[in-house]
Amino acid sequence: MSPLDIQSACTLNDGNRIPYLGLGVYASSTCTKACLTSFDEGYRHIDTAELYGNEAEVGVITFIQLPALLLDNCLPRSSIFVTSKVWDNKHTRQETLKAVSESLNCMQLEQIDLYLIHNPRSGPTGRHQAWLGLQDALREKKVKSIGVSNFTPAHIQNLMKSDGVTVKPAVNQIEFHPWNQQKTIVEYCKKEGIAMQAYSPLARGQRLGENSVISEVAKKHGKTPAQVLLRWILQHGVIAIPKSEDPGRIRENAAIYDFQLDDEDLSEIAKLDAGQDGNVGDWNPWEHE
């Protein structure tokens, strides 16, 4: 991978580009403030979802009120990458397409950069129908790219064999951090040209202060444990979307481009993998057929 900075982006298999660092806004009580702070720190990528209940805040504050809020430093819509997702209670072709339209209306956007199936829980038929709906949204130019979340290789392989499926997912968003490295999924998606995106990249902070390996690497580079984790993710070619509402943490999470983990660091961190036993979220992709 070439040298990175906060403007670095990954080219997706459809030719579109997504910034490697984004702001997650799941359960964000101060979504507006967090988005504006992130833009001030150089972020250009916001990850939301229908389920999060803050699409309107992301859209209205980001793209309508932004010029008035930032005055001479306003950002054009084309410079901001927005991801949203359809929940599993809308996995029919018609309902998924309708969900995309509802997200567009909610965010008052003409087009969403990336739209994902939020999880695979609806089963083969539901996943197939939802994907057909996303293909329709792509064809109608309601979205630029489409992808999935929490999908295993089998989920993707079965989807691609289904009737009417002509578009490969551009992105697979999964929990990914040193304690759950999802090697099988990551290796498969990289082989297939599907970009990987990490949610809960900081393991929700549950292990940051207690792990001696991460602490030693952080001390070695004069960085925080959180910065080490995010740098580790980027050096694996994976997109990271850490959530934070604290301006200091948002700033800290962006300060990861002036150092690089060496082979020794990467080797030691690789030993932390506990597979699904290292999961900090509610999703185990392998539990859903």
Instruction: Give me the DSSP letters along 59-95.
Output: HIIIIISHHHHHGGG---GGG-EEEEEE-GGG-SHHH
The per-residue pLDDT for 240 is 98
Q: Does domain 16-207+238-247 have CATH number 3.20.20.100?
A: yes
Annotated binding site for substrate: 118
Torsion of CA 200, 206, 207, 210, to 10 degrees: 160
The DSSP bridge pattern shows strands 23-24 and 45-47 to be: parallel
Q: What is the mean pLDDT of residues 67-80?
A: 62
CA separation, residue 8 to residues 1, 21, 27, 43 (Å): 11, 8, 27, 10
Domain boundaries, the chain: 16-207+238-247
The pLDDT tens digits for 29-57 are: 788 888 888 988 999 999 999 888 888 88
Average pLDDT, the chain: 91
According to DSSP, the residues that pair with 10 across neighbouring strands are 18
pLDDT level of residue 72 (50, 70, 90 thresholds)? very low
Q: Which residues are known to be catalytic?
A: 52
The pLDDT tens digits for 237-259 are: 999 999 999 999 999 999 999 99
- Cα–Cα distance, 17 to 58 (Å, whole number): 20
Q: What is the mean pLDDT of residues 203-230?
A: 90
CB-based contact 196:239 (threshold 8 Å): yes
